[in-house]
Amino acid sequence: MASEQPFWPVECGEGEPDLMVCMSCLSEVFRSKVPMPDCPSCHRVSTYESFTLESIRDWGTEELIAKAEQAHAFVEQPPVQADEIPEPTPPA
């Protein structure tokens, strides 16, 4: 039975880079969090450095860039407000 990976939250200030890259393998990236106790790819207790999506696009591999774009897009989705939820239509 596989368990979910626990994470430590990383606080990033407004406008600061918030994509955390594993500096041991350079193949994992997380947004505003780091996995514990180790990197899920290389299984090393790593140092994570923060980068912007644009900087990762400059130097990252295609795989890392795709992971960074996915992490960036996932958090970018605005939460749905209660008044924006459409009323369900009754069955006909």
Residue 4 lies in a domain: no
- Domain total for the chain? 1
Backbone angles phi, psi at 60, to 5 degrees: -80, 160
In a domain, 42, yes or no: yes
pLDDT score, position 82: 53
Q: How are beta strands 19-22 and 48-51 bridged, if at all?
A: antiparallel
Beta 33-35 vs 48-51: how paired, if at all? unpaired
Q: Is the bond preceding 37 in cis, omega lying within 30 degrees of 0?
A: yes
Q: Is residue 41 part of a domain?
A: yes
Domain that holds residue 64: 23-76
Report the chain (92 residues): mean pLDDT per 10 consecutive residues.
Answer: 76 89 95 91 91 96 96 66 58 60
Task: Provide, for the chain, the percentages of residues in helix, strand and coil under a 3-state DSSP scheme, each rounded to the nearest 5.
Answer: 25, 20, 55
Q: What's residue 1's pLDDT? A: 41
- The residue to which tokens 């960036």 are assigned: 72
Whether residue 8 lies inside any domain: the answer is no
